[in-house]
Amino acid sequence: MAEEENAGQAEDAAAADAPAEAEAQPEARTLTDLADLGGGAGGDGAAAEAEALPDPQIDDHGRSYATGKRKDAIARVWIKPGTGQITVNSRSLETYFARPVLRMIIGQPFAVAGRVDQYDVICTVKGGGLSGQAGAVRHGISKALTLYEPALRKPLKQVGFLTRDSRVVERKKYGRHKARRSHQFSKR
């Protein structure tokens, strides 16, 4: 009997030490791991966050609107609950963005938030090339999701989808062939 109690106490002590060791070494998170963050981790902290969330910004048509930007591209994005249909400049996603990589970029906010095929997206995008336009649409979808469901802000922010990527093409300088490329040196 006493041996069983000692064994039980040893297991309790080991269980108490395990969380301290797990907290000491943070683990690397991947994109799929961050999709789990949308649900919240329970406890008093989650209840406090739920109270502090802003109200959803939904218009009379049941949509949320946001503007996304990347390079020279600007995307105006409306999202509403639906079947996952994405329309870009009055064309389907597969028609406008033919490359699978660009379609994957646009679907990333829904994957992280765990809302795949739950929202319809209508967007107009102009300026820049296809890659910049895909980044602008992703930025706009992420912002619109946080306006429709404010609880999704944390997982989307951790992945970096709410930050506007400010990298743009450097301007050409006078006396140079390009932004930094110098004239070719000729010895003779």
Residue 91 maps to which CATH number?
3.30.230.10
Residue 50: inside a domain: no
Residue 98: inside a domain: yes
Residue 21: inside a domain: no
Instruction: Please tell me which residue, 62 or 39, carries the higher pLDDT value.
Output: 62
Domain residues for the domain of 117 are 61-158
Distance CA 156, CA 16 (A): 32
Burial per residue of 128-151, b for 16 or more beta-carbon CB atoms within 10 angstroms, e otherwise: beebbbbbbbbbbbbbbbbbbbbb
Q: How many domains does the chain have?
A: 1
Q: Which helix (H) or strand (E) holds 78?
A: strand 73-81
Residue 181 DSSP code: P
61-81 per-position pLDDT tens digit: 999 999 999 999 999 999 999
4-27 per-position pLDDT tens digit: 555 555 555 555 555 444 454 545
What's the pLDDT score for residue 28?
52
Residue 91: inside a domain: yes
124-170 per-position pLDDT tens digit: 999 999 999 999 999 999 999 999 999 999 999 999 999 999 999 99
| Confidence class for position 188, pLDDT limits 50, 70, 90 | confident
DSSP string, 30-50: -HHHHGGGGG---SHHHHHHH
Residue 71: inside a domain: yes
